[in-house]
Amino acid sequence: MSHKYMKYFKLTLLAGLLFVVTFCFWSPSSSVGVNIHRRQGRLGQKLFNKKIENLTFGYPDIEYHIKDDVARSLAQNSCVCLPGEETFHIPFSNLLFPRVWAHNLQHAFLENHPDPEIVKRHRAQEYDNFQRRVYSPADMLNIAEANSPLQYPTQGVEVQPLKTILIPGLGLKQKEKSNYRVHLTATLGTFNVAATVDMVSVVGAGKKQMMLSSPLLSSLNRQLQFVTYTNAVFHPKTADSIQFATEGHQSFFTIKVGHRIVPKLYNSGHSEEYNITSLVTIATKTFLRYDKLQDLIDSIRQYYPNVTIVIADDNEHPQPVTGPHIEHYIMPFGKGWFAGRNLAVSQVTTKYVLWVDDDFIFSANTKLEKMVDILEKTTLDLVGGAVREVTGYTATYRHTISVEEGGPDGDCLHFRNGFHHVIEGYPSCVVADAVINFFMARTDKVRQVGFDPRLSRAAHLEFFVDALGSLHIGSCSDVIINHASKIILPWSKTKTQKTYEKFRYTSVGVDKNLSNEIYYFKNRFKCMTSQ
């Protein structure tokens, strides 16, 4: 082979190698930005709602007659704050015949507030954010048009335990015949009609099975608009499977049964800019390293002098940690890492909690406002930052987690380095399933997941496995905290440092065995893979 062809061969080989490397390490998800901002309803949703309205409220010319006993049981969406009437005026009547009392919270809270209108606006804004955060398209009412020829809701029908609702969207579309008939069957509730329509027969009102028939299809469809469902079996969260049938055809749909989610709103005050003091509490766990802890506190105070710091401390001989806006909680000796996290988070009263290790140090790059901004404007529940070591290396520790079904012996747990996608509008932020040990989160969401207190000295990913499916997690590389140096010459170690290492590292094996038990038994995994 000539020198010329050898040169071309080498160039071709080099290009091929570069292509292989690029293909192996480039991920489409890393270059695509996905919008996870909270958005109001779009035009498509408005058109969809219009379609549902047309399917639900047809036949306006057909008369109906209200059944007062059934109609009164329907949810009115207009609760009032009225006490029960006192019917007896005898001694101890309140004990013998207790009546309902009422306390007007709006009046009681706002009457002494200097600016009630600002409070009401702030509360409304927080509630709007809460609704958009918990909203799911799967909860939207959808109705299958009568192609079967039955028309019925496919999703979005909900009833509170032991309450009554109108079932939206029921209908029948058939060719002309002498009589039209439909059947309804439930398992956890009963049917009735809130109004009657002339020339329609209703059999089984108040029971689990009800039949409606009429010689007029339009009258039957009008009657179907007044069919009610009453839940008869109390359960805080379940669903009833409804059978809706006519001759030669049957369909099934579900009615969700459950209490409504009660909002958890934080009155952090209305402000044009983020007030970190009222929005964020910094939480940490300490053991023996009081010198590191003090360095952390000093660095926080340099940038956030009034933010509350919550410290969980399981030292055998605790030392006082004092100062303004510091809460120091003493635990039983050696109680452990995750137990301390639970204690610290349990005492947070602000909307967000920032978790830091006791050997971290704030810097000018530790901008908590950036973390608050992304939590306020997106659907994320938790956002991690980056940790800069003394060597200059900055780590974000991003992982994706997936669970693969594995049969009767358990499932398989897979950890992979990387992330799912970039967040549109935040080029330094991505969506992942596990992040580094420096993160800010919604306080109530972290409490829902919790930290397994059995893990005493070595644990991290266990929390994010428990959070899978519950927390929407992100990571931003432009919020950076420094890590104190861990480089200590053997001959310069103090007695405290040697004691810390003994507890920290001799218990790793114990925690590792416990972690295996937690993954295998509690989480029901038979295998774990990691990259």
Higher local confidence (pLDDT), 98 or 196: 196
More confident residue, 304 or 288: 304
- Give the tens place of pLDDT for each residue, 474-490: 999 999 999 986 656 56
Reported as type and span, the H/E element at residue 6 is: helix 3-25
Q: Tell me the pLDDT tens digit for each residue of 221-272.
A: 999 999 999 999 998 888 999 999 999 899 999 999 999 889 889 998 878 8
320: confidence class by pLDDT, cuts 50, 70, 90: very high
pLDDT at 99: 65
Min mean pLDDT across 24-28, 79-83, 135-139 is at: 24-28
* pTM of the model as a whole: 0.76
**Average pLDDT value for the chain:** 84
pLDDT at 53: 65
| Residue 17 pLDDT greater than 70, yes or no | no
Q: What is the helix, strand, coil percentage profile of the chain, to 5?
A: 30, 30, 40
- pLDDT confidence band for 298 (50 / 70 / 90): very high
Whether 15 shows a pLDDT value over 60: the answer reads no
Q: Of the ranges 17-26, 86-95, 167-176, which is most confident?
A: 167-176
Q: What pLDDT digit, counting tens, does each position of 332-367 carry?
A: 998 888 999 999 999 999 999 999 999 999 999 999
Band of the pLDDT at 519, cuts 50, 70, 90?
confident
Maximum alpha-carbon separation in the chain: 118
Say which residues have a Cβ less than 8 Å from residue 431's Cβ, sequence separation at least 6: 34, 36, 380, 419, 420, 421, 423, 472, 473, 474
Give the model's pLDDT for residue 515: 79
HEC secondary structure over 227-251: EEEEECCCCCEEEEEEEEEECCEEE
Structure tokens at 115: 């600016």
Q: What is the mean pLDDT of residues 26-37?
A: 56
Q: Classify strands 382-388 and 394-395 as parallel, antiparallel or unpaired.
A: antiparallel
CA gyration radius, the chain = 31
Contact 194, 226 (CB under 8 A): yes
CATH 3.90.550.10 fits 276-530, yes or no: yes
Q: Quick one: pLDDT at residue 184?
A: 96
Structurally, at CATH architecture level, domain 48-70+137-258 sits in Sandwich (2.60)
Other Cβ atoms less than 10 A from the Cβ of 491: the count is 5
Domain layout of the chain by residue ranges: 48-70+137-258, 276-530
DSSP, collapsed to helix, strand or coil, labels residue 422 as strand
pLDDT of residue 119: 79
The pLDDT tens digits of the residues spanning 413-436 come to: 899 999 999 999 999 999 999 999
- For the chain, give the percent of residues with pLDDT over 70: 78
Peptide bond between residue 83 and the one before it cis (omega within 30 degrees of 0)? no
H or E segment at 56? helix 43-56
